[in-house]
């Protein structure tokens, strides 16, 4: 999975309700990320990091 970002001034995080200029989502492809953003599933940076920490995700270096 990769992290995708959408830049949209005045976007509202569905988790905390903050108005932000960028939302983030985890997805397998840009197409999937677009669908998730269209469904309103992007998170602000603070909520996104909280999700990663609580979900016990790890950042791994891409090889090859």
pLDDT in tens, 5-58: 998 888 999 999 999 999 999 999 999 999 999 998 999 999 999 998 898 877
**62 Cβ contact list (under 8 Å, min separation 6):** none
Residue 26's domain comprises: 2-54
Task: Estimate to the nearest angstrom the gap between the alpha carbon of 4 and the chain centroid.
Answer: 6
pLDDT at 61 over 90: no
Q: What is the pLDDT of residue 47?
A: 95
Residue 8 tokens, joined:
């949209």
pLDDT, residue 64, reads: 58
Tokens standing for 37? 């953003």
9 belongs to a structural domain: yes
In a domain, 30, yes or no: yes
Number of domains in the chain: 1
Count of other CB atoms within 10 angstroms of residue 54: 8
Domain for residue 60, yes or no?
no
User: Does 64 fall in a domain?
Assistant: no
Predicted TM-score (pTM) above 0.85: no
Instruction: Report the distance separating Cα 23 and Cα 40, nearest Å.
Output: 10
pLDDT for res 60: 76
* 33 within domain boundaries: yes
Residue corresponding to tokens 């001034």: 9
């Amino acid at each position: 999975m990769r992290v995708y970002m959408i830049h949209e001034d005045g976007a509202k995080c569905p988790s905390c309700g903050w108005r932000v200029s960028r939302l983030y989502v985890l997805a397998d492809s840009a197409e999937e990320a677009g669908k998730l953003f269209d469904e309103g599933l992007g998170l602000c940076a603070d909520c996104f990091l909280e999700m990663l920490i609580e979900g016990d995700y790890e950042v791994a270096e891409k090889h090859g």
